[in-house]
Amino acid sequence: MLNLLTWAVVLRPSILAQNWPIPAAILTGAPRLRQAGLAPEVGLLLPNTEGPSGLVAGLAKTDCDARGAAFGLFLADPFLSIPGAVDALRRQGIGCIANLPSVEQQDPEFAQQLSDVGLDFAREVEALRQFQDHGFQVLAVVGDPAAAPAVAALAPLAVVVLPRVPDFAAGFPSFRKRGAVAREVREALRGAGWGGPLLGLATASEAVHETLWPDALDGVVCRPEEREET
């Protein structure tokens, strides 16, 4: 049995009308250990999962039909063999990869510590580029505007803005706070020459009320829900 998280994607009608080939959902691994009050977005960053290689291997042993979904992997993992993962992912119908979870979700100080040992966002971007070389589409996850130039150079299907771990300290961050970061990221992406769809994290109730979405967003990624594959 493989435990996964599903992050549903909801787009504005204006984006749907343009026929952007954005996946209907992102699938990621689920943390093995769960603690009450711990946001799944944060729990996914803890070292209690099988890691990307284990996740790909586990996926290959299931009947999971992931057509129409992107698959999220921790692409900063130095032990991930991208050529070895390609065939397994294709057999499950996966044609799009996301760097989720991402070091971009970490507190900047901790992210710097990870960078000091080579577990950084640059490694994620390079991994996304390698998947593109194998014919995959990519979704790029960022945490702030500083990452914009690197992901803009990839020309991804979409960019996803996720809150950082400290933002969850007092509960799920407000849409006002998420919207402010999204606007900064949008401006940085435009400055880097990329104008594709920008997505932000939302609750299920927010997702069904487009009028609540910040103007900077072209769609939302819903908070993850658990699913099991056998």
Distances (CA, A) of 79 to 42, 85, 127, 144, 197: 22, 11, 12, 26, 31
CATH number at residue 178: 3.20.20.70
Grade residue 214 by pLDDT with cuts at 50, 70 and 90. very high
pLDDT at 113: 78
Question: pTM here?
Answer: 0.94
Asked if 177 and 167 touch (Cβ cutoff 8 Å), the reply is yes
If one counts the domains in the chain, the total is: 1
Q: DSSP class of residue 141?
A: E
- Bridge-partner residues for 201, per DSSP? 221
Q: Give 52-82 pLDDT, tens digit per residue.
A: 888 888 887 887 777 889 999 999 998 899 9
Provide the domain limits for residue 126: 2-229
> Which are the contacts of 36, defined by CB distance < 8 A and separation ≥ 6?
none
